[in-house]
Amino acid sequence: MKNSTSNSADALPEFYSTREAAEKLGLSLGTVQKMVETGALSAWKTAGGHRRVIASSVTSYMTARESNIRAVRNQQLSILVVEDDTEIQKLYALNVAEWDLNVDLKLVGDGLTALLHIAKHYPDLVIADLRMKGLDGFEMIHTLHNDSSFDEIDIVVVTGMHKDEIAARGGLPKGMTVLTKPISFSTLEGYVKAKEAARARLQ
């Protein structure tokens, strides 16, 4: 490989371009660029301003993702809410706390933080808004949908966007559950109870 400093043709590269790192990780170029900017992937810039991603950081990310997929799941049903409105986050926390369910709830405010959390913790369910600053729900969902290692994660979209607006943004993967804002927490509770029951039957 051109970017390897080793003389061995079979040696692993010391670094990747952002495009090569994106292909290796199965993520979009934009996602990898944001991961570099936030320090989630280690990188440096050439004199010409091009990013070079340290290969070992790519390997570490992949290893963490794979090990967590294989890990034995906690008895709690793990839910990740991706919502940038802090007031709505509070509503999630208050309502979920009242459910008669054994749930581990985590809240994040953007798609990139969500992807990093998902890679490390592999939640059972992701509840996501679409319109967010930074990496939005559309890109986050398509990133997860295009990576087969995340196939077992259920995704529920909760949005105030009209279906025509969603279609104009490229749409969502087929079969995705979409709930509209304002949030019906009773509907969401019913969905989570069904998810927990299905999970219990498999254990």
Whether 129 and 85 map to the same domain: the answer is: yes
Chain-centre distance for alpha carbon 111: 6
Which residue has tokens 């991961």? 35
Assigned domain for 122 exists: yes
pLDDT of residue 96: 96
pLDDT of residue 29: 85
The domain boundary residue, chosen from 49, 66, 83: 66
Assigned domain for 34 exists: yes
The torsion angles phi and psi of 132, rounded to 5 degrees, stand at -140, 160
Whether 62 and 151 map to the same domain: the answer is: no
What residue ranges of the chain have pLDDT lower than 50?
Answer: 1-2, 4-9, 72
Return the structure tokens found at 180.
């509209």
pLDDT of residue 9: 44
Assigned domain for 141 exists: yes
How far is the C-alpha of 194 from the C-alpha of 203, rounded, in Å? 15
Assigned domain for 118 exists: yes
Assigned domain for 90 exists: yes
Whether 101 and 58 map to the same domain: the answer is: no
64-104 per-position pLDDT tens digit: 777 665 554 556 899 999 999 999 999 999 999 999 888 99
Assigned domain for 135 exists: yes
Give the strand pairing for 77-82 and 103-108: parallel
Question: 170: domain CATH number?
Answer: 3.40.50.2300
Whether 57 and 111 map to the same domain: the answer is: no
Q: Is the dihedral of CA 114, 116, 120, 122 positive or negative?
A: positive
The domain boundary residue, chosen from 41, 66, 91: 66
- The range of the structural domain enclosing residue 61 comes to 15-66
How many structural domains compose the chain? 2
Whether 114 and 181 map to the same domain: the answer is: yes
pLDDT of residue 80: 98
Whether 62 and 77 map to the same domain: the answer is: no
Residues 6+ apart with CB under 8 A from 186: none
Assigned domain for 109 exists: yes
3-class state of residue 51 by DSSP: strand
pLDDT of residue 177: 93
Whether 159 and 193 map to the same domain: the answer is: yes
pTM for this predicted structure: 0.71
Whether 181 and 95 map to the same domain: the answer is: yes
Whether 182 and 100 map to the same domain: the answer is: yes
Residues 6+ apart with CB under 8 A from 113: none
pLDDT of residue 72: 43
Assigned domain for 133 exists: yes
Q: Do 3 and 13 meet the contact criterion of CB atoms below 8 Å apart?
A: yes
Whether 190 and 125 map to the same domain: the answer is: yes
Whether 46 and 127 map to the same domain: the answer is: no
Whether 85 and 146 map to the same domain: the answer is: yes
